[in-house]
Amino acid sequence: MVSISPIAHKLLSYVPFILVLIDLRYEGVHCGKSGDVESHLEMGKKLLAAGQLADALSHFHAAVDGDPKNYLAYYRRATVYLAMGKSKSALPDLSKVIELKPDFTAARLQRGNLLLKQGKLDEAEGDFKKVLKSSPGDKEEMEAKAQLTKSDEIQRLVAQAQKDFARKDYSSAAARLDTIIETCVWDAASRELRAECFIQMGENGKAISDLKAASKLKNDNTQAFYKLSTIYYQLGDHEMALNEVRECLKLDPDHKQCFSHYKQVKKLNKQILSAEELIQQQRYAEAVSKYESVMKTEPHVLHYTHQAKERICHCLSQNQQATEAITVCGEVLNSDPENVNVLKDRAEAFLQDEQYDEAIRDYEKAREHSENDRQIKEGLERAQRLRKQSQKRDYYKILGVKRNAQKKEIIKAYRKLAQQWHPDNFQDPDEKKRAEKKFIDIAQAKEVLSDPEKRSKFDQGEDPLDPESQQGGGHHHFHGAWDTFQGFNPFGSGPFNFKFNFN
């Protein structure tokens, strides 16, 4: 026989009492939970009435966790989701309410309304019909009948829209879909069909709007992202096209259409960005080559050819390739005669080519479409000054050099002409006098064109040696030519024996 200590014996005598306490404690916990669920429901209800949706939702979450079979907790949580615009979250809760309490008419009516908005017409009609069979109140019966009638009408419109689309009557199909989507606002299929109508009608902006909505309404909607990317690509927005096709590949990395399209868009995007970077760096010849590659990469979408030629026009103009620029700019303007940027670039090329009237005409046309453009205003004023200047004396023509000639070319031309027209080379008095005048013109041309500041003024249409162009007037502009003439004796021909007559 096992002996038990007096203390152990005493403890054993308490076991029945302890077990009773444990059982009571267990029941108390459950009573507490039940009480907690009710308090959460009550507090959530008050917060919902006060418009504090997030806090109300938190309490209804707790109520559902506390009692997963409490249909009222699901219903109130669904009510908050609806108030927050989260219909996708509300729908499963309403379905759970109906599962737990099939005769809960209000929940079934709300679920029918949500299904109708999602375009699930058969399921919505099923709910409305069950509401009508459940002896509803007058208000619920009236709403169920109205929604059932609306659902039947939408069923008819859907069938007609599909027939219109099949016979390529896209305008009629789109009009019927407008009416459908007014009710079925969350119906991805209707939006996708209407987007296809818009694409066929050439209304790409509207198609984009519908496809963006469809991509959010339907999970894993790779087709919507693919179509969005192709529309943006056709519109010339290569960056948005790249963004949308990447969204498609995130959902399905092996999507054949998206992957093939992605490679094309990525290549084109890289070429365009590279060309623009070269323009920023003023590496215009390389930028032209890069944009020529763009036209080869995508010869079928006119927008990219147009954009490439527009930028090539700009590069050629900036690179002082006037003849080539005028040709390319003209090609762009044939199809887009009001393109302000191209008009400005061609005007600049005309100035380089000394076609002042044509430059003025382009600047004036550009001004019609962009009145406040400072660059146009300044360009027009410069073109007008240069035309006026061309009617007087042109230092470039005197030396026989182009407007983009380097300094060494100017000095070389000057020396050649100075040697040719040196007054000591002429014996006849009339010829000598003519040579003196010519020699001074040559010296003045060299003075202006070899001095960066004076040349810049001349290029802007101001003659730095013309008293009419200088504030204060005077004849100080002859000193440079005189000094040059006095000091010029590179051929060792001795001092000059003639006089200058300045009128």
Q: What is the pLDDT of residues 230-274, one digit of tens each?
A: 999 999 999 999 999 999 999 999 999 999 999 999 999 999 999
Cβ neighbours of residue 76 under 8 Å, at least 6 residues apart? 41, 44, 45, 48, 60, 63
The answer to whether residue 467 scores a pLDDT higher than 80 is: no
Question: Residue 57: what residue type?
Answer: L
Indicate which CATH number applies to the domain containing 491. 1.10.287.110
Q: Which of the listed residues 226, 256, 286 is the one where a domain comes to its end? A: 256
At residue 423, φ and ψ (nearest 5 deg) are: -55, -30
DSSP 174-221: HHHHHHHHHH-TT-HHHHHHHHHHHHHHT-HHHHHHHHHHHHHHSTT-
Q: How far is CA 395 from CA 135, 448, 461, in A?
A: 102, 8, 12
Whether the pLDDT of residue 12 is over 70: the answer is no
Task: Say if residue 228 is in the same domain as residue 183.
Answer: yes
Question: CATH number, domain at 50?
Answer: 1.25.40.10
Separation between Cα atoms, residue 116 and residue 488, nearest integer Å: 97
pLDDT at 453 over 50: yes
Boundary of a domain, candidates 236, 256, 276:
256
User: Is 262 part of a structural domain of the chain?
Assistant: no
**For residue 469, what pLDDT is reported?**
59
> Stretch 206-234: mean pLDDT, rounded?
94
206 within domain boundaries: yes
Query: How confident is the model over 348-368, as a mean pLDDT?
Result: 94
Average pLDDT over every residue of 200-229: 94
For 186, phi then psi, to 5°, come to: -110, 25
User: Considering only 24-28, 79-83, 356-360, which range has the smallest mean pLDDT?
Assistant: 24-28
Q: Residue 34: pLDDT above 80?
A: no
Percent of the chain residues topping a pLDDT of 70? 86
Same domain, 101 and 168: no
Average pLDDT over residues 406-432: 89
Same domain, 136 and 232: no
Q: Are residues 143 and 236 in the same domain?
A: no
| Residue 199, domain member (yes or no) | yes
Find the mean pLDDT for residues 334-340. Answer: 95
Judged by average pLDDT, the poorest of 4-8, 357-361, 382-386 is: 4-8
Chain position carrying tokens 């007058």:
138
Is residue 68 assigned to a domain? yes
Interatomic CA distance for residues 216 and 219, integer angstroms = 7
Whether residue 117 sits in one domain with residue 138:
yes
Same domain, 85 and 165: no
Condensed to tens digits (0 to 9), the pLDDT of residues 82-112 reads 999 888 899 999 999 999 999 999 999 999 9
What's the mean pLDDT in 480-493? 42
Question: Would residue 269 count as lying in a domain?
Answer: no
* pLDDT per position as a tens digit, 339-354: 999 999 999 999 998 8
Q: Is 84 helix (H, G, I), strand (E, B) or coil?
A: coil
In a domain, 344, yes or no: no
Asked if residues 63 and 37 have their Cβ atoms less than 8 Å apart, the reply is: yes
> Sorting pLDDT into bands at 50, 70 and 90, what band is 470?
low
Residue 378 lies in a domain: no
Q: What is the DSSP letter of 467?
A: G
Examine the domain organization and report whether 130 and 160 are in the same domain. no
pLDDT, averaged across the chain: 85
Residue 476 has pLDDT above 50, yes or no: no
Clarify whether residues 43 and 127 are in a common domain: yes
What is the pLDDT averaged over residues 451-473? 76
**pLDDT for residue 77 is more than 50:** yes
- Host domain of residue 470: 398-503
Same domain? For 470 and 442 the reply is: yes
Query: Are residues 44 and 139 both part of a single domain?
Result: yes
- Would you state the pLDDT for residue 18? 35
| Percentage, residues of the chain above pLDDT 90 | 67
Task: Name the domain boundary from 208, 238, 256.
Answer: 256
Q: What is the pLDDT of residue 127?
A: 94
Task: Mean pLDDT check: name the lowest of 63-77, 342-356, 433-447.
Answer: 433-447
The pLDDT of 293-315, averaged and rounded, is: 96
Which pLDDT belongs to residue 35? 65
State CA 295 to chain mean position distance.
21
- What crossing angle do the helices spanning 322-335 and 340-352 adopt, rounded to 10°? 150
Structural domains in the chain (count) = 3
Both tokens of residue 429?
Answer: 């008095």
Per-residue pLDDT for 286 more than 70? yes
- C-alpha distances in Å from residue 147, one per residue of 95, 115, 131, 367: 19, 11, 11, 59
What pLDDT sits at residue 182? 96
Instruction: Kindly state whether residue 237 falls inside one of the protein's structural domains.
Output: yes
Same domain assignment for residues 164 and 234: yes
